Chains A and B, each alone.
Chain A
Amino acid sequence: MSSHVSDWRDAMLQTVPVMFGYLPLGAAFGILFMQLDHPWWGALLMSLFIYAGAGQFLAVTLLANHAGLLEIAVATFMLNSRHLFYGLSLLKRFQGAGWRKPYLIFALTDETYSLLTSQRHTTLDRHDHACAWRISALNQLWWVLGTLAGALAGATLEFDSRGIEFALTALFIVLTLEQARRLRKALPFLVALVVGLGAIVLLPDRHLLLGAIGTASLVLLAHYLWVDRRQENRA
């Protein structure tokens, strides 16, 4: 039992940076949702069953504009389509995760993906899946708690939290440095730098992430084919 408690404490420590980001962002979503005169449980259901930051803000906007259901479905799918590429790199990792697998897939936000792919996992076993499950569940807990605080307490929240969402940027910086230390190869970082800066110059804000992550995946695919062919020629 005590090892169970320490497992959760470890997971909790790993998700602290996400907590700093998700509580205020979730609260911001809750406040925005209530300003449009929807019942509070709508915000709760969204954070429980949609669980996508930008996706939920978009849903609120589309609701306010009385968009059609098909339009809402297409817009949401397009906005979140970068997640398609996240699954690609976790296919093997989630194999054999059993009853946890559907939730692990459902809860795959940018931040959870970042934490999971930065973990050291030497063995692909039940222990790893249990760790991943604890991190995923805690991250969603922070998001749901933030949403509830925003929806129920709303404007009465006194704490001046301006700027606290920088915790997510800081988390991504730390995880990038950790990935670089582990991998010791320049390739993915060069690809990301060129593609990321190129996307900022060339693409409108709403297509930026999808464009950059999709292009990076294609470049890595081309690199794979190139290496593969060279090895064939040598053989």
Chain B
Amino acid sequence: MSETMLLLVIAVCALATFATRVLPFVALSRHAEHPLILHLGKFLPPAVMLILVIYALRNFRPLAEGSLNGGENGLPLIVASISVAVLHVWRRNALLSIIGGTGLYMAMIQLGWFVPG
């Protein structure tokens, strides 16, 4: 692959990605105060946030394929996620919840707990 081709591909990807981010600002800039836009501004972020959580946990498939969990690393995922939620409701310290849950997940993955052999 020539370097020119590589640069061209990078430029095309950069433009296509930026287009998805800038389009609403270009097309709807005059309607920022419209009640519908304000409605979406209020309710869309929390919905997107929970969808991102569900997406991240999609490997947790309870009772799939006749086992307790069919997806790869699904059980550690769900155990660590519940820990993050409990930690956060209990102490309400974002960094503590995230670092605690991530440490637990890494331990489970690297030591092989709850990971089907």
A binds B: yes
| A residues at B contact (CB < 8 Å) | 13, 16-17, 20, 38-39, 42, 45-46, 49-52, 55-56, 59, 62-63, 66, 69, 72-74, 76-77, 80-95, 101, 105-106, 108, 110, 113-114, 117-118, 160-164, 166-180, 183, 185, 187-189, 191-193, 195-197, 200, 205, 208-209, 212-213, 216-217, 220-221, 223-224, 228
Query: How does the 8 Å CB contact mask read for B1-38 relative to A, with 1 for contact and 0 for none?
Result: 10100111111111111111111110011011101111
Contact among B32, B33, B51 with A213 in the assembled complex (CB-CB below 8 Å): B51
Given A167-B102, A183-B46, also A162-B110 (CB < 8 A): yes
Chain B residues within an 8 Å CB radius of A192: 46-51, 54
The residue from B6, B7, B14, B46 contacting A188, defined by CB atoms under 8 A apart: B46
Which of B15, B19, B33 is within 8 Å of A92, CB to CB?
A: B33
CB-defined contacts of B56 to chain A, threshold 8 Å: 168-169, 172
Give chain A residues whose Cβ lies under 8 Å from the Cβ of B106. 161-164, 166
- The answer to whether A88 touches B24 (Cβ under 8 A) is yes
A176 proximity list for chain B (CB < 8 A)? 46, 49-50, 53
The digit string for B82-110, where 1 denotes a CB below 8 A from any CB of A, is 00110011000011011101100110111
CA distance A110 to B56 in the complex (A): 12
Contact of B37 among A72, A91, A213, A216 (CB under 8 A): A91
Cross-chain contact of A174 among B1, B37, B88, B109 (Cβ < 8 A): B88
